Amino acid sequence: MRSRKVHSVASLSVAVVAGLCFSVAVFAMEKAKTSQEEVVTAALRAHVAEGLQIDPAAVTIRIMSPLDRVEIGPATAIRHVGAGSPVGRVTFLIGSARVNAEVEAVKEVVVASRFLRRNQLMEQADVVRTAIRLIWPEGRYLEDVDLVVGKRVTRSVPAHFPVTEDALGNPYTIRQGAQITIQYLQGPLKVVALGLAREDGPAGARIRVTNLDSKKELWARVVDGETVQVGP
């Protein structure tokens, strides 16, 4: 009877020890997994922050793919696939391994302080710098208010929306309906005629104009606020 009790206690002890060993092994694996994820997340956060020129604390990374094949060290090259800013759903290349992640970043950029109408000229009061969550990978966000003032709005921008590079253009030098001088150039020969602008245009742009003498419509390049040029 006593022998059976000893055997039972011994079996129980072995089971407990085995269970503890298994728990320790699982804990070690989870810890290693967490450590790997933390290392990769920190590396991606630093990569994104450097590209956007912001504090790494303003970047949130959520890993969306397994990391078992990822090897990372101080000299490991990291880049993101595709053009634009690495925000939203991003595929990174860590060495030769592909890692998918959700990326959020907060940055101070220029936003509209009120509704901006198409073709209006930007003034200081039209914009303000504020921190926003970047959501457009292709968005060419602006940080300097001085680069915006004096530009022409090429499409309407709602209040509190970012003012991106593609929403701005140079102000019109010639306006539709303005009387202009048309210069015809061919070699050393220059002929001047009076004309009428058929559309708006900034300096350097090609616009439709009408020669008031011949009544012919043609394309000409805007030289300044009063002159367009036909020819090379």
Per-residue pLDDT tens digits for 119-134: 999 999 999 999 999 8
CA distance 220 to 207: 6
Tens-place pLDDT, residues 151-181 = 999 999 999 999 999 999 999 999 999 999 9
Return the H-helix or E-strand segment holding 17: helix 2-52
Evaluate if residue 106 carries a pLDDT over 80. yes
CA distance 89 to 104: 9
Give the dihedral sign, CA 20/21/27/31.
Answer: positive
Cα atoms found within 13 Å of the Cα of residue 139, Cβ hemisphere only: 21
Is 0.75 surpassed by the pTM of this model?
A: no
Query: How many other CB atoms sit within 10 Å of the CB of residue 61?
Result: 25
Domains and CATH numbers, the chain: 1-170 (3.90.1210.10), 179-230 (2.30.30.760)
Q: Confidence class of residue 43 from pLDDT cuts 50, 70 and 90?
A: very high
What pLDDT is stored for residue 85 in this prediction?
Answer: 84
Q: What is the mean pLDDT of residues 3-31?
A: 44
Residues in the chain: 232
Are the beta carbons of 70 and 44 closer than 8 angstroms? no
Strands 179-186 and 227-230: parallel
CA distance 163 to 122: 11
